[in-house]
Amino acid sequence: MLAYAEDINGRREYTIKVKDIKTGENLSDKISGTDGQFIWSKNSKNIIYIKRDETTLTSNQVFLHTIGTSQKNDILLFEETDPQFHCSLGISRDKEYGFIYSSQTNANEVRFFSLNNPTKLKLILKRKKNINIT
């Protein structure tokens, strides 16, 4: 499987699509309203992605999508409620863990999860000012 994010209107509003590499066919999965960031779970049956607020366009929600199901059934893993913060995703070097970063100009918070079980988040860095994470 191959997943890719497509922005057709130039407003950084991406739809994530999934393609079967063997057949070359796109699957029915279309995950709309995203900021284009996503990572695969270890079993390649789930995609963890960031959805943007429809009004503010802030990247503020992290969802889990199961391949072959409707986006309306996706599981909300995390929601950033402070409008000054936005979310981003990362992955560990060994590709065993994913990270959810909540950031603003000079403050960050970090959660991590196993890519074998993305529904169990653990806070590893509580929100702090003057912390730059790269």
β-partners of residue 61 are: 51, 79
Structure tokens, 117: 């079980």
Measured distance CA(100)–CA(115) in Å, rounded: 12
Task: Please identify which residue in the block is written with the tokens 């992290």.
Answer: 62
Q: 16-30: per-residue pLDDT in tens?
A: 999 999 999 999 999
Residues 118 and 48 sit within 8 Å (Cβ to Cβ): yes
Q: In this model, does residue 105 exceed pLDDT 90?
A: no
DSSP tally for the chain: helices H, then strands E: 0, 10
Q: Which domains can be identified in the chain, with CATH numbers?
A: 2-129 (2.130.10.120)
Residue 10 has what pLDDT?
81
**At 133, is the pLDDT very low, low, confident or very high (cuts 50, 70, 90)?**
low
Nearest alpha-carbon partner for 60 in 97, 98, 103, 90: 103
Query: Phi, psi (5° rounding) for residue 94?
Result: -85, 0
Determine the pLDDT at residue 129: 75
Residue 6 contacts by C-beta under 8 Å, 6 or more apart in sequence? 14, 15, 16, 17
